[in-house]
Copies of this chain bind each other. A is one copy, B any other.
Amino acid sequence: MLGKIALEEHFATEETIGDSQPYAPAASWPELRSRLLDIVDRRVREMDANGVELMLLSLNSPAVQAIPHAAKAVDLARRANDFLAEEIAKRPDRFRGFAALPMQHPEAAAEELRRAVVELGFVGALVNGFSELDENGTTSHYDTEDHRPFWAEVERLEVPFYLHPRNPLRQDARVYGDHDWLLGPAWAFGHETAVHALRLIGSGLFDAHPGVRIVLGHLGENLPYGLWRLDNHNAWHGQRASGYRARRPVADYILRNFLITTSGNFTTQALLSAIMSLGSDRILFSTDWPFENVDHAAHWFDAASISETDRLKIGRTNALREFRLGG
């Protein structure tokens, strides 16, 4: 399929490139490194070869979120966003930007998002999970009251917020034992991100700001499969499930306030399952370049056993609508 739009596509700056090294075995690191630092050269060739017209670019993970000093996080986000804006300016026909945000400081994050959207022309934000607030492992998820003004700004700007994975801190990862292979994309990424998304829902955020849209990668971080059980539990506990502060069932918010992408999860079984659970209007193509290959994503997607109607929506038109990319 020609004209695909891809949403979870990463780059790195010299300053953040090191954050991606743990995700590659030593032998693969030179390749991964060069892929991340390339913005508009090889990347465009990959896109051309695989029918990808447009990529929405974002900084690698965890980058800004792992900086335990708010001021430094603010500074890094600004510089990364400026750098990205310059790169996009070289090929505005092929790239748009997601803002990196210093969520350690919600007011600064709101301000940086506004600047990125209004001044730099970015189409949303991509944030790598929770933020570290200090070097003792104090972390911040974004369901707390102090983030509400930030979300108000997201709603006002009418841009999606991509909640991208990161690993838990080592002290919170005891369940994985010595099975480090379960960290990262295999399992821990999905768990961390799904729980964060559920906390946003359970906090009542989407009752207060119904216009906020969250994007989840990897076909929804297992949430589509678990959706019924999430709300069955709530039903069993009645309206008073401990700590659930939202007005409606979880599924209502997933269907209304969330979008999911195919990044890094190129399997038709899960895609069909997601279509059965969420419907094809909420699903968008993505590759997760450079951690995944664009050709792997494209070859799979172009041949997946879905209707051509859905292929066009997932591959392109849902993104046009949600990010207002139309001419």
Chain A residues packing against B (C-beta within 8 Å): 25, 27-28, 139, 141, 143, 168, 172, 174-182, 184-187, 190-192, 194-195, 198-199, 202-203, 218-219, 222, 224-230, 232-234, 236-238, 240-244, 251, 255, 264-270, 272-273, 275-282, 291-292, 304-310, 313
Contacts and interface: CB of A to CB of B under 8 A. Distances in A.
Nearest to A182: B198
Contacts of A198: 179, 182, 187
Q: Is the interface of A mostly helix, strand, loop or mixed?
A: helix
Contact of A181 (B219, B242, B251, B292): B242
Contacts of A230: 186-187
Nearest to A306: B276
Contacts of A234: 181, 186
Copy tally for this chain in the complex stands at 4
Nearest to A178: B243
6 contacts: A25-B237, A175-B195, A181-B237, A187-B194, A191-B191, A279-B310
Contacts of A277: 269, 307
Nearest to A272: B276
Nearest to A224: B225
B233 A278 contact: no
A177 B141 contact: yes
Nearest to A195: B175
Contacts of A232: 185, 264-266, 292
Contact of A243 (B172, B180, B222, B224): B180
A270 B228 contact: yes
B233 A179 contact: no
A292 B229 CA distance: 11
A275 B28 CA distance: 36
Contact of A179 (B172, B244, B268, B292): B244
Those 9 A-B pairs whose CB atoms lie nearest each other, nearest first: A279-B309, A268-B305, A228-B267, A225-B225, A273-B273, A279-B307, A180-B242, A186-B233, A181-B241
Given A182-B195, A279-B308, A305-B305, 19 more contacts: A139-B174, A172-B172, A172-B174, A177-B199, A179-B203, A179-B243, A180-B243, A181-B242, A219-B225, A224-B269, A225-B270, A228-B265, A269-B276, A269-B277, A272-B305, A275-B275, A275-B276, A276-B305, A282-B309
A313 B178 CA distance: 37
B270 A272 contact: no
Contact of A278 (B219, B243, B307): B307
Contacts of A177: 141, 143, 199
